[in-house]
């Protein structure tokens, strides 16, 4: 992680050259609730969709202490950056899944390649903190569901976020937002749309942290009432 403003400015400059379709000057802090929930869960395989500068990833790696697996999904330049950050902190238990900066590309492509290789469980905890856009993250949820172990978690950041209020993507700060999205989509809370329409309505997911973290209790096709009983029983005996 760059220590000085000047090295951070160099990172921003490199990102601006690599990708004109996404703001380069994006700094994000670690997500404390995600780190706490992951630590309590005992999960070992963490996938993060949108790693930015690795603030949350590094804390997860410190918690895992070299054990388990960390899957990094973001634009290639960001997964490379976070890979170096993890390496320089002594961690090597990670896999990089970088996407190109093409306008319609995203982590859904490497996810499809993972599915091609293996449709069974690969992740225990998925942190969706990437595009925050329906046309990307609605599909991400379905793909992640195929790769998430029963008992695992899907965690959404920024339930109330919208493009209109984003400190980097609001149209007056990043004019391409008005080119890419309608006014309705700019005002809409698109993470909320994914969570409310796809996750909350799915009987195979149970809410653990309101509007944020959901536990998968059954695979597609498995009886969710049986799975619900099993999940209640597990909680009672643990």
Q: What is the contact surface with ligand SAM in residues (CB under 6 A)?
A: 22, 26, 28, 30-31, 48, 50-52, 55-56, 74-75, 78, 99, 106-107, 129-131, 136
**Conformational region of residue 133, where left means phi above 0, alpha means psi within -120 to 50, and beta covers everything else:** beta
Q: Pick the closer one to ligand SAM by CB: 158 or 228.
A: 158
Q: Find the distance separating the first CA and the last CA of the chain, reported in whole Å.
A: 38
Nearest approach, Cβ of residue 205 and ligand SAM (Å) = 21
Separation CA 123–CA 207 (nearest Å): 18
CB of 45 to ligand SAM, least distance (A): 17
Rounded to a whole number of angstroms, the minimum distance from the CB of residue 215 to ligand SAM is 20
CB of 50 to ligand SAM, least distance (A): 3
Using the minimum distance from each CB to ligand SAM, give the nearer residue, 55 or 149: 55
Please, which residue, 150 or 161, has the CB nearer to ligand SAM? 161
Q: At closest approach, how far in Å is the CB of 46 from ligand SAM?
A: 11
Residue closer to ligand SAM, measured from CB, 107 or 156: 107
Question: Closer CB to ligand SAM, residue 68 or residue 161?
Answer: 161
Q: Which run of H or of E encompasses 35?
A: helix 32-41
Phi, psi for 28 (deg, rounded to 5) = -130, 145
3-state secondary structure of 45: strand
C-beta neighbour count of 229 within 10 angstroms: 12
Residues 6+ apart with CB under 8 A from 5: none
Q: For residue 210, what are its two tokens?
A: 């309101």
């Amino acid at each position: 992680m760059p220590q000085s403003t000047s090295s951070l400015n160099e990172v921003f400059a490199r990102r601006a050259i690599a990708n004109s379709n996404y703001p380069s000057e994006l700094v994000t802090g670690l997500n404390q609730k995600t780190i706490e929930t992951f630590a309590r869960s005992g999960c070992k395989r963490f996938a993060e969709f949108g790693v930015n500068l690795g603030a949350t990833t590094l804390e997860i790696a410190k918690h895992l202490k070299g054990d388990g697996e960390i899957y990094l999904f973001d634009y290639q330049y960001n997964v490379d950056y976070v890979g170096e950050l993890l390496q320089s902190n002594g961690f090597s238990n990670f896999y990089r899944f970088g996407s190109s900066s093409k306008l319609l590309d995203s982590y859904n492509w490497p996810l499809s390649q993972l599915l091609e290789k293996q449709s069974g469980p690969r992740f225990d905890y998925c942190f969706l903190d990437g595009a925050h856009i329906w046309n990307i993250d609605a599909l991400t949820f379905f793909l992640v569901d195929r790769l998430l172990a029963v008992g695992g978690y899907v965690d959404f950041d920024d339930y109330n976020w919208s493009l209109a209020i984003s400190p980097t993507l609001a149209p007056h700060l990043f004019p391409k937002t008005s080119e890419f999205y309608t006014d309705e989509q700019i005002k809409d809370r698109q993470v909320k749309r994914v969570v409310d329409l796809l996750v909350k309505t799915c009987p195979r997911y149970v809410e653990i942290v309101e509007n944020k973290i959901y536990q998968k209790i059954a695979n597609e096709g498995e009886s969710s009432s049986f799975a619900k009983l099993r999940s209640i029983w597990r909680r009672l005996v643990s």
